[in-house]
Amino acid sequence: MSVIVEHMDAASALALVGDGAHIVAGPGCGAPTTLLRAVNKQAPGRGWTLDSGMLLGDYPFLDVVRSGDLRYRTWHVMAPVRELVADGVVGYVPIRASRVAGLLAAHGVGAALVRVTPPDRHGYCSLGPSAGYGLDALRLAGMRIGEVDPDLPRTHGGTTVHRSVFDALVETEDPTPRYESAKPDAISKQIAAHILGLLPRDPTLQIGIGSIPEAVVSSLATADVGRVRFAGMATDEMVDLFERGIIAPEVDESPITSPELMGTERLMRFADGNPAVSVYPSSRAHDAALLGRIERFVSINTAIEVDLSGQVNSEMIRGRQVSGVGGSLDFVDAASRSPGGLRVIALPAATANGVHPKIVGAIGASGTVTMPRSMVDAVVTEYGVAVLEGLTSVERSEALIAISHPQHRAALTEYAGAQR
């Protein structure tokens, strides 16, 4: 059992990490921001490699990444690192969320940096809003450092770890990271209305990030779809649905299960000590075999573009990595296994003013196929729904052209005709 070191500052804690170590930092609203900022000063001459998933806000260690004093790899490309990924300074790892624990096991973890609540009277801390790969990193790590945040929610599920496993505990100097949801615009609301028409009664929904998923959640307040449960990322808007009774608890089950809570203080307060919300590691929360046992599991994910065969690009714009695989493939896999499950891809038909189409002839070298055509049941734009399951290749093209932006339908029709 490790020796507990209380009230150590971040620099002293990182001094415990060995040279050449592979460091893993927790993501999202559970990111250890004070420790990550200290990495910027402590990394030179240490030969460290840092891995993380999605980080919010600024990346406080990028100075040493640019200087070559820290190698950084990520499986989710946010705006602050997109140019660095394009330039080869930051490494992007294309991987499903369910496989991250296996990746960490294969590479080994020299040190795990996670954000935690203060210990309770029994000595247990909680990783709060973010279990993801954090618990796996702690299990595998040779050095474990916790950043203690008194404002972090103590969540149910699989987030607890005893203080004795830590080699150092550091008091945070920062507020808990927050995620502000994208506000749905008129097009997102139109798309959400089409999606609601596809939902089975009493569904379990998984939503991705962005204005369209948020519009779907908001629209459920006035929809007649019965009792709703959520699996996957949890957001502020779900609090409203719970308070309205649309999200209803089951016997011995949380109606909201998630690897990551992504929201503001409102969601964090709601989740604190609330059995209605369970946060689990990705080894469970992204387990397609486990989720696939749930009846009427519906995955709703956005995309950058969809081609006329139904292939989906969710990662690249004009040859540049702008996102990651995340949990989308895991959840689509789960919906494939679920009795009455449904796999939905939702996106605007084009960029602003119809300039660039998002329904395209083919995903070429400037994109990548995140999701194969065989794993999509329906594609939704503001112009309607293309139900692809069971259609021939020609019928798929016709269905997708019908929901494409009017400015691009003629060109798409010409392209489709040339492929026959």
CA angle at residue 184 from 183 to 185, to 5 degrees? Answer: 115
CA-closest candidate to residue 209, choices 380, 367, 54, 387: 54
Sign for the pseudo-dihedral over CA of 147, 285, 184, 388:
positive
250 pLDDT band, cuts 50/70/90, is: confident
Instruction: Please report the pLDDT score of residue 249 as a whole number.
Output: 80
pLDDT value at residue 353: 86
Give this prediction's pTM. 0.94
pLDDT in tens, 95-120: 999 999 999 999 999 999 999 999 99
| 402 — pLDDT class (breaks 50, 70, 90) | very high
For residue 208, pLDDT over 90 is answered with no
pLDDT value at residue 251: 65
| CATH class of the structural domain 186-419 | alpha beta
Q: Which residues contact 333 (CB under 8 A, 6 or more apart)?
A: 288, 292, 375
pLDDT in tens, 263-305: 999 999 999 999 999 999 999 999 999 999 999 999 999 999 9
Residue 51, both tokens: 């891995």
Half-sphere exposure of 215 (CA within 13 A, CB side): 23
For the chain, domain boundaries: 10-171, 186-419
What is the pLDDT averaged over residues 30-48?
98
Residues 6+ apart with CB under 8 A from 94: 75, 315, 324, 325
Which CATH class, in words, describes the domain spanning 10-171?
alpha beta
Q: pLDDT per residue over 130-142, tens digit each?
A: 999 999 999 999 9
Q: Which pair of structure tokens corresponds to residue 307?
A: 């081609």
- Answer whether 10-171 and 186-419 agree in fold: yes
